Amino acid sequence: HGPGVSGAPARGLVVAAASSHSGKTVLTLGLAAALRRRGRAVAAAKCGPDYIDPKFLEAACGRPAVNLDPWAMRPDRIRALAAGQAEGADLVLVEGVMGLYDGGTAGAGSTASLARMLGLPVVLVVGAEGLAQSAGAVAEGFARLAEGFEVAGAIVNRVGSDRHATLVREGFARTAVPLLGLVRRDPALVLPSRHLGLVQAGEHAAIGDLVGRAADAVAAGCDLDSIALLAVPLPAEPAASARPALAPPGQRVAV
């Protein structure tokens, strides 16, 4: 795989969530931007075919993001794309989709399947709405189900008060999952949505402000050093295959 800016192999990790609407995208944006402020060269990728989130990730990283779709792409193609993202970067963040294990039959196409394919650890985002000590139980359950990869820690998002934070910490103290951060609830840290999907990055008038505010929140609430240390080297780029690309299903198309 491509060397990072220091010449050492680039490292990566997956930012996944217990469910959709946990604030995973905003936290990934904040994490990327906060690490860039510390001088890290950060690249990003999105699990699945979503074409909207990569543009937000591009705004946070200052470089294009790619899609890694374990449902539609061969493993060697995914590893090659991940290696391409590593060129000139020292950290690659892979944002998950839906809940960590959500996909087709047997989890096909899920974030978990992608983490397993790339051999990367997972940082789990747990939304704190309606949860306190139970957030730790959620993270523990997700960690116990992991096969072929590790849930290496958790970030609890949208924590409401100091008392709420204390109760969340109390719950994690009974688990084996490291609590890597508590990010406070902020109504401004929400991506606007509309029918059939999120507002695209180019339509978001204050994307720079959103990324900056997310970076502030993540830097204030998370252990950035510990998160960065969880990243592991990306797999080696696969050798060029002699196998031809998939043959197209047809040669002529009528509309």
Kindly state whether residue 67 falls inside one of the protein's structural domains: yes
Q: What does the alpha-carbon distance between residue 148 and residue 102 come to, in Å, rounded to a whole number?
A: 16
pTM: 0.89
* Residue 253 is assigned to a structural domain of this protein: no
Average pLDDT of the chain, as a whole number: 91
Question: Does residue 157 sit within a domain?
Answer: yes
Q: What is the mean pLDDT of residues 59-72?
A: 97
Domain that holds residue 156: 11-233
- pLDDT at residue number 242: 44
Tell whether 143 is covered by a domain. Answer: yes
Residue 255 inside a domain? The answer is: no
Rounded to whole angstroms, the Cα distance separating 25 from 129 reads 17
| Backbone CA torsion sign across 14, 15, 20, 24 | negative
Residue 237 confidence class, pLDDT cut points 50, 70, 90:
confident
pLDDT of residue 236: 81
- Asked if the structure places residue 254 within a domain, the reply is no
- CATH of residue 19's domain is 3.40.50.300
* Structural domains of the chain, count: 1
Are 208 and 57 contacting, i.e. CB atoms less than 8 angstroms apart? no
Residues 166-173 have a mean pLDDT of 99
Residue 246 is assigned to a structural domain of this protein: no
Query: What letter represents residue 144's amino acid?
Result: R
Looking at the domain assignment, is residue 93 inside a domain? yes
In terms of DSSP bridges, do strands 122-127 and 151-159 run parallel, antiparallel, or are they unpaired? parallel
Express each pLDDT in 7-45 by its tens digit: 678 999 999 999 999 999 999 999 999 999 999 999 999
- 187-221 confidence digits (pLDDT tens): 999 886 644 455 665 555 688 999 999 999 999 99
Of the pLDDT bands very low, low, confident and very high (cuts 50, 70, 90), residue 247 is low
